[in-house]
Every structure is written in C-alpha cells, then in structure tokens.
Amino acid sequence: MARQSPTPDSTIYEACGTFTVSGAEASDPISIAVLRHACTASLQAGAPNLWLDRLCIIETDANDKAWQISRMHQIYASCVVCLVLPGGIRRLVGLDEETPWIHRAWTLQEAVAPHRVEVLFAWTRGAVTGASGSTEPLWPQAVIPTSRASRTSPPS
C-alpha cells in the first residue's frame, strides 16, 4: 500500500545530502536521494548495474573521457533501461517544469538508442513510497515508449 509523505520533496532531498566528484567539482552536486531513486528504478527494471556518466567518466583523464564519449551510442543501445533525469542528478523535477535536458547534444541518442527508456520525475504533492509486497512502483516515474518496436512500427 502506498502512502503519501507530508514532507515536501525538496526537504527530503536536502536531508539526504549530496556529494561531488573529483574533477567535476564545478558541476552540480549529486543528490543521494536522486541516486537512490535511480538505483531503485534500475533494479526494478531488471538492471543490476547502473552506469552514470558523472560517476563513470573520469573527468580528470582526457583519454578516458574521449574513449567513453566515443562509445556513448553503444552504451545507450546496449543498456537494459535508460533512466532519463530531466532535472539532472541534483534533483527530480515535476512534469510541468521546463528543463534544459532536451537542448543538450547527447539527449537525442539517450532517448532513441536504448530499447527501453524511463523518465524519472518528482510528484508535486509529496513523496510516494511503496510497502513490501505492493504492486505500486517504489519510485516516481513516467514511462515513454518501452520498446524500439513501439517507436518504429507503423500505426495499425
């Protein structure tokens, strides 16, 4: 059974804390709460591993960064599920909040290359949590087409 938390999302995110990555200190800090949501969504989708560019690309190593970037399409195409965080790794955003996500260069392949794409967003009326045995999701999400076939098949 799901329950609604009386605590606003912003308070929850602030209470969980953030951290930065060595070599990427100028970037937004990573929210532990958002990272937890992403890990939960990844596990629920059957993906035991989570590749997060901010953590997996070694920003201080130009060779590693170039190597990883040259393989981004392959990384996206071979993933079990691609979790899109329109508000970035700092916080989940609401569906009605405009973000720069669509204007970033790599987001086209992030949305097109994977076989399954899910968008994580924040609820506007508090956090929702699931209880053990619940059939309801444990993370806030919106799902866009779940298979390549549903994006490429002509309408019936």
On whether the CB atoms of residues 95 and 121 are closer than 8 A, the answer is: yes
In the predicted structure, residue 24 carries a pLDDT above the cut 50? yes
Average pLDDT over residues 99-124: 85
Helix, coil or strand: residue 83: strand
Q: How many CB atoms lie within 10 A of CB 36?
A: 12
Mean pLDDT taken over the chain = 73
Mean pLDDT of 8-17: 53
Amino acid identity for residue 93 in this structure? V
The position carrying tokens 């899910």 is 118
Contact of 126 with 8, CB cutoff 8 Å: yes
Of the ranges 54-68, 94-108, 129-143, which one carries the lowest mean pLDDT score?
129-143
> What pLDDT does 16 receive?
63
What's the whole-number mean pLDDT along residues 43-53? 88
**Whole-angstrom Cα distance, residue 84 to residue 70?**
20
Dist. CA 20–CA 137, nearest whole Å: 29
pLDDT band at residue 21 using 50, 70 and 90 as cut-offs: low
Q: Which two tokens stand for residue 87?
A: 């508000």
- Amino acid 16 reads C
> What are the residue boundaries of the structural domains of the chain, listed by start?
3-152
